[in-house]
């Protein structure tokens, strides 16, 4: 798999890599259930799955509660099957229970509330001085996305346990850490959280250092969107001193990633998520207008309200692209992406082991992070499933930054599982960015406003 050669995992069962050899080919039809057929991930992930060597026969079952988007997704996937010549069937229904039986893999890409809450998630906190760029995995926006989404996800996992208990749930829906932690608290389903920040950031580091990606050696661990490249080397040479010097002298390079480079200068390592998104996980960059002007740039580099402003348009553009594909106006892009879903399926089906980075329950994998929290670490994947790597100890300053967010995630997960407004309020009181701007009474008032605005999507709270 794509990360095997250059990422350094510390596997409890590392000898498997030598003992298992080349593995088998795919020998059976595969059933994949995709939850959230309107998701922009659908096209890319299905093309990836059909690119698995030997995966010539299977079923893709699509689920979405939006009838129009479900129909578009079904038509798109039928077109992809037609273009690849594979013998896959595509089924679709708004009733997930009718499709989950016999599933081998469930890909979760649900979006609860669609675009109805994006302005509330951004604008109400902004009125209290909490400035967000993305606002879907942490902070007020991330919390309320969790409160809307996790209860639905837990209902899904209950169905999985009843109808396809051996299936693996590959979760792409944010807020990743809270979703996976709540799942661990409330379900026995086999869940792994998947992101693309490790894959993408490692390739960015190859670009920034001028080293071919295939020759870059690195280690990475932490939490989703705040995992740290604790090793970065080439031919035995530590690349950090050179990169730090380069960043300080090259203004053009600095502008490509101001927040992440600033964090690297002060904390010693490069972090996995974009400058804009990372700026929401720490209390330093978004609490005053002059700091936003100094460190934040356009779009993913830190633009205020970026997701809230763009999400409705992106959603409409995704649907329009599907219509254009079906009308023959746009070609479907072939080739396999860096997303992990198909790599996991390939490794489990063929027993060709590989490495992915997943969000999983810690269980002392990262020794100086909470054992009962969720971490993002290297994982071995083969016919035995997903086996997380024992990373060891993060540098103390990096572990402290992770822990400052994990406390918020724990209270947020409790709020979702127990339908507790008090836990939700306290989660935001622990959020680094919110706490940098607001006092507890302001946070409580803001939380009440968000609950009132989004009550349609928060039954039981």
Contact 381, 343 (CB under 8 A): yes
Burial class (CB within 10 angstroms; exposed 0-12, middle 13-18, buried 19+) of 228:
buried
Q: Return the closest-CA partner of residue 359 out of 272, 231, 230.
A: 272
Contact 23, 351 (CB under 8 A): yes
Helices (H) and strands (E) in the chain, counts: 19, 13
- Residue 193 has phi, psi (to 5 degrees) of -90, 130
Q: Which residue has the tokens 């809230």?
A: 308
Distant-in-sequence, close-in-space partners of 85: CB < 8 Å, separation ≥ 6 = none
- Residue 224 has phi, psi (to 5 degrees) of -55, 130
In the set 10, 13, 196, 266, the catalytic residue is 196
Supply the DSSP string of 363-427, one letter for each residue.
TTSBTTS-TTSEEEEEEEEETTEEEE---B---HHHHHHHHHHHHHHHHHHHHHHHT-HHHHHHH
Supply the DSSP string of 116-185, one letter for each residue.
TTHHHHHHHHHTTT---SS-SSSHHHHHHHHHHHHHHHHHHHHHHHHH-TTPEEEE--SSHHHHHHHHHH
Measured CA to CA, the distance from residue 28 to residue 50 in angstroms comes to 14
Q: Return the closest-CA partner of residue 131 out of 437, 440, 360, 444.
A: 437
User: Under the phi-then-psi rule, with left for phi > 0, alpha for psi from -120 to 50, and beta for the rest, what region is 328?
Assistant: left
The two three-digit tokens of residue 20, written as one number:
């298992």
Residue 234 designated active-site: no
Contact 41, 60 (CB under 8 A): no
Label residues 310-333 b or e (16+ Cβ within 10 Å = b). ebeeebeebbebbeebeeeeeeee
- Residues marked as catalytic: 196
């Amino acid at each position: 798999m794509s990360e095997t050669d250059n990422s350094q995992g510390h596997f409890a069962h590392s000898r498997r890599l030598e003992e298992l050899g080349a593995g088998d080919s795919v020998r059976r039809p595969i059933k994949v259930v995709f939850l959230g057929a309107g998701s922009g991930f659908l096209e890319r992930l299905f093309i990836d799955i059909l690119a698995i060597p030997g995966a010539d026969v299977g079923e893709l079952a699509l689920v979405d509660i939006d009838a129009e988007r479900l129909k578009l997704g079904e038509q798109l996937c039928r077109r992809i099957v037609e273009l690849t010549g594979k013998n896959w069937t595509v089924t679709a229904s708004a009733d997930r229970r009718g499709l989950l039986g016999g599933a081998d893999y469930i890909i979760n890409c649900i979006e609860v509330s669609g675009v109805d809450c994006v302005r509330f998630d951004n604008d109400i906190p902004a009125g209290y001085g909490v400035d967000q760029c993305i606002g879907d995995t942490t902070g007020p926006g991330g919390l309320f996305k969790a409160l809307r989404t996790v209860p639905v996800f837990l209902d899904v996992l209950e169905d999985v346990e009843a109808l396809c208990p051996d299936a693996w749930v590959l979760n792409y829906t944010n807020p990743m850490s809270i979703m996976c932690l709540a799942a661990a608290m409330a379900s026995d389903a086999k869940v792994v959280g998947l992101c693309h920040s490790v894959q993408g950031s490692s390739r960015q580091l190859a670009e920034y250092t001028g080293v071919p990606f295939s020759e870059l050696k690195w280690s990475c661990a932490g939490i989703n969107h705040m995992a740290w490249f604790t090793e970065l080397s080439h031919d035995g040479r530590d690349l950090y001193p050179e990169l730090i010097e380069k960043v300080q002298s090259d203004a053009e390079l600095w502008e490509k990633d101001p927040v992440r480079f600033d964090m690297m200068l002060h904390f010693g390592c490069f972090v996995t998520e974009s400058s804009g998104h990372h700026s929401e996980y720490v209390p330093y960059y978004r609490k005053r207008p002059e700091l936003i002007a100094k460190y934040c740039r356009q779009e993913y580099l830190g633009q205020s309200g970026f997701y809230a402003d763009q999400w409705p348009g992106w959603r409409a553009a995704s649907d329009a692209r599907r219509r254009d594909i079906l009308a023959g106006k746009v070609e479907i892009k072939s080739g396999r992406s860096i997303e992990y879903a198909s790599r996991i399926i390939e490794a489990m089906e063929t027993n060709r082991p590989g490495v992915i980075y997943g969000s999983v329950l810690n269980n002392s994998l990262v020794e100086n992070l909470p054992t009962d929290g969720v971490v993002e670490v290297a994982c071995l994947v083969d016919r035995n499933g997903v086996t997380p790597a024992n990373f060891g100890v993060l540098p103390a300053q990096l572990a402290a930054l992770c822990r400052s967010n994990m406390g918020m995630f724990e209270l947020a997960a409790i709020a979702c599982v127990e339908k507790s407004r008090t836990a939700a309020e306290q989660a935001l009181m622990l959020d680094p960015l919110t706490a940098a701007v607001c006092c507890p009474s302001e946070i409580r008032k803001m939380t009440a406003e968000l609950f009132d605005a989004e009550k349609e999507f928060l039954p039981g709270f």
